[in-house]
Amino acid sequence: MARWGILATGSIAAKFVEDLRLVPDAEVLAVGSRTRERARAFADRFGIPRAYGSWAELAADDDLDVIYVATPHSAHYDAALTCLSAGRAVLCEKPFTLDRATSLALIEAARARDVFLMEAMWMRCDPLIRRMVELIADGAIGEVTTVHADFGLAGPFAPDHRLRARALGGGALLDVGIYPVSLAHLVLGLPDEIRAWAKLSHGVDENTGVVFGYASGAVAALTCGIIGGTPTTATITGTRGRVELPSNFHCPSQFTLRRHGAEPEVFSMERRGWGYQYEAIEVQRCLAAGLRESPLVPHSVTLDVMGLLDTIRAQIGVRYD
């Protein structure tokens, strides 16, 4: 039995707790927030036994095996470090932190304390995404030549919404752009060239386009935004076929493999919950095996992607305090 603590009480924390009900041998034992009132309300809503009015109190609970950090982006580093310093394993929401430097500092803190740490990039743990990656690695579409992916939210988002708050790491790139970037990295690795452009508003990006170029000749064309709902689809094309991921490509219920000269093959699965259970299952598997990082979401991948996001932000002119 893995005993979970939940740090923060927002919508993502709520979805994660709902999905933990689908995970065998998972128990939500405690929740922590900046105020005891918010923690108690969340605990009562989900039947959680313990409620703490600070991150430090939650982290100090020796009965917890792992803590899920679900704060806004800007608080990930401090919240996760609080838990790691208390010797707690951590699953930290994406983006890991606001930049590569603080992500590396967090990873070094976990390694120094010999504690498990993983970024909650749930797309990499999704069974269908993993199956797609296997097919591509086995040569199902030949050598990958292009990746197209978009993730745009319709909005509108009020001026005080976290997505428009520079102080909270707002904007499209870190919140939803991380998915197209992660997909490109998943199938093509680190690019050799990066070009990015964005429309900014109050210091954060509203609409962003990115092109990755690779020495192999492959290209990734990626977009993200918070001012218009896009199809949120993806296509991965190779020399002998392509893979088409439908809307919500990051957590698909199916995808289509089109090999040249063959009938389309549809791979599907019945989806339950929101899809966060698969990352929780991976965390519990790693803890049971005594691992300190996940082979599905290794620290090196987190640092690679954070480095890409840093480069994109520098080109489009988004800077966080």
Q: Retrieve residue 261's tokens.
A: 């000269």
pLDDT at 89: 98
Q: Give the Å distances, CA to CA, from 19 to 23, 116, 274.
A: 7, 21, 7
What's the predicted TM-score (pTM) here? 0.96
Catalytic residue among 50, 76, 88, 94: 94
Respond yes or no: is residue 15 known to be catalytic: no
pLDDT-derived band at 121, boundaries 50, 70, 90 = very high
Question: Quick one: average pLDDT of 165-183?
Answer: 96
Contact 209, 200 (CB under 8 A): no
* 195 membership: H or E segment, kind and range: strand 193-201
Contact 145, 178 (CB under 8 A): no
pLDDT tops 90 at residue 264: yes
Q: Hey, what amino acid is at 195?
A: R
pLDDT-derived band at 173, boundaries 50, 70, 90 = very high
pLDDT-derived band at 258, boundaries 50, 70, 90 = very high
Protein fold of 2-120: Rossmann fold (3.40.50)
Q: Retrieve residue 295's tokens.
A: 């082979």
Q: Do domains 2-120 and 124-273+304-316 have the same CATH topology?
A: no
pLDDT-derived band at 68, boundaries 50, 70, 90 = very high
Per-residue pLDDT of 286-307, as tens digits, reads: 999 999 999 999 999 999 999 9
DSSP structural state of residue 13? H
pLDDT at 250: 97
| 3-state class (DSSP) for residue 59 | helix
pLDDT at 41: 98
Domain ranges of the chain: 2-120, 124-273+304-316
Q: Retrieve residue 316's tokens.
A: 């489009």
pLDDT tops 90 at residue 229: yes
pLDDT at 159: 87
Per-residue pLDDT of 43-62, as tens digits, reads: 999 999 999 999 999 999 99
pLDDT at 155: 85
Bridge pairing between strands 254-259 and 241-245: antiparallel
pLDDT tops 90 at residue 240: yes
Per-residue pLDDT of 126-158, as tens digits, reads: 999 999 999 999 999 999 999 999 999 998 898
Q: Retrieve residue 25's tokens.
A: 């041998």
Compute the distance between CA of residue 219 and CA of residue 212 in angstroms, rounded to an integer: 6
Burial of 321 (0-12, 13-18, 19+ CB in 10 A): exposed
For 114, other C-beta atoms within 10 Å of its C-beta total 8
Q: Retrieve residue 192's tokens.
A: 């050799």
Whose CA is closest to 44, among 17, 76, 16, 75?
17
pLDDT tops 80 at residue 207: yes
Q: Retrieve residue 218's tokens.
A: 């492959």
Contact 180, 146 (CB under 8 A): no
Per-residue pLDDT of 1-50, as tens digits, reads: 999 999 999 999 999 999 999 999 999 999 999 999 999 999 999 999 99
Angle at Cα 168 formed by Cα 166 and Cα 169, nearest 5°? 65
Protein fold of 124-273+304-316: Dihydrodipicolinate Reductase; domain 2 (3.30.360)
Instruction: Name the strands in the sheet holding 66-69, side by side, starting at the edge strand that comes first in the sequence.
Output: 50-52, 26-32, 2-7, 66-69, 89-93, 117-120
Mean pLDDT of the chain: 97
